């Protein structure tokens, strides 16, 4: 089965939407957590949805529409702006190293979006992971290491080199698919590749 790299940020609502559809991707998904701001800087793409009130309002309407299409819960987290994207990405990479990524990934995305839980404070983050049956201290201790930070930044660099300029981004055989609304195209490309081999 071919690999697809999935570049995502836990603070990105469209990453959350895409993540709910990952099981439908006809390939082995390689999860590559990044800090979106780092990627935006690398790509020379400083525009942020929150910078424009109209874009922000439309984004919320669009996300509500996608949630309805996908049949998933969605809501804006009250503490979104306070969340540390780099730390949450570091935690994901630490969880990968510790063999508990699936539980970490599900609990953080659920807490960030439909759950409206506190991922901004150390106590809130610990509570989210503990509720998922995870050893929060082991994860955050490893997440604080320089090795994990380097891996996070390497993920962003990889995404940039593949042509990515935002999240969610999927890369299959060097080809970029940006946005949750491109997953159908991604699956078509994977099927086309399978037929050619």
pTM of the model: 0.94
Give the distance, in angstroms, between the CA of residue 110 and the centroid of all CA atoms in the same chain. Answer: 12
Q: Which domain holds residue 54?
A: 3-196
Q: Which residues of the chain have pLDDT under 50?
A: none
pLDDT per residue as tens digits for the range 106-125: 999 999 999 999 999 999 99
pLDDT per residue as tens digits for the range 82-109: 999 999 999 999 999 999 999 999 999 9
CATH code at position 79: 3.40.30.10
How many domains in the chain?
1
CA distances for 91 relative to 75, 119, 143, 157, 158, angstroms: 23, 12, 5, 18, 19
Cα torsion through 50, 42, 146, 131, rounded to 10: 30
Q: Is 137 exposed, middle or buried (0-12, 13-18, 19+ CB in 10 A)?
A: exposed
pLDDT of residue 61: 95
List the structure tokens of 121.
Answer: 């404070």
pLDDT of residue 52: 79
pLDDT of residue 53: 86
Strand pairing class (3-8; 169-172): antiparallel
């Amino acid at each position: 089965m071919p690999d697809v790299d999935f570049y995502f940020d836990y603070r990105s609502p469209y990453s959350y939407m895409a993540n709910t559809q990952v099981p439908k991707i006809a390939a082995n998904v390689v999860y590559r957590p990044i800090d979106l701001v780092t990627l935006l800087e690398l790509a020379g793409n400083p525009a942020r949805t929150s910078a424009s009130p109209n874009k922000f309002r439309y984004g919320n309407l669009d996300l509500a529409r996608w949630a309805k299409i996908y049949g998933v819960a969605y809501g804006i987290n009250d503490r979104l702006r306070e969340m540390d994207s780099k730390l949450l990405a570091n935690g994901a990479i630490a969880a990968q190293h510790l063999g508990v990524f699936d539980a970490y990934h599900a609990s953080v995305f659920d807490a960030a979006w439909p759950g409206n839980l506190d991922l901004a404070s150390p106590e809130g983050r610990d509570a989210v992971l503990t509720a998922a049956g995870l050893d929060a201290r082991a994860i955050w201790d490893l997440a604080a290491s320089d090795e994990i930070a380097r891996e996070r930044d390497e993920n962003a660099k990889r995404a940039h080199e593949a042509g990515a300029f935002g999240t969610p981004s999927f890369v299959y055989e060097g080809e970029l698919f940006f946005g949750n609304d491109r997953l159908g195209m991604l699956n078509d490309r994977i099927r086309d590749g399978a037929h050619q081999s």
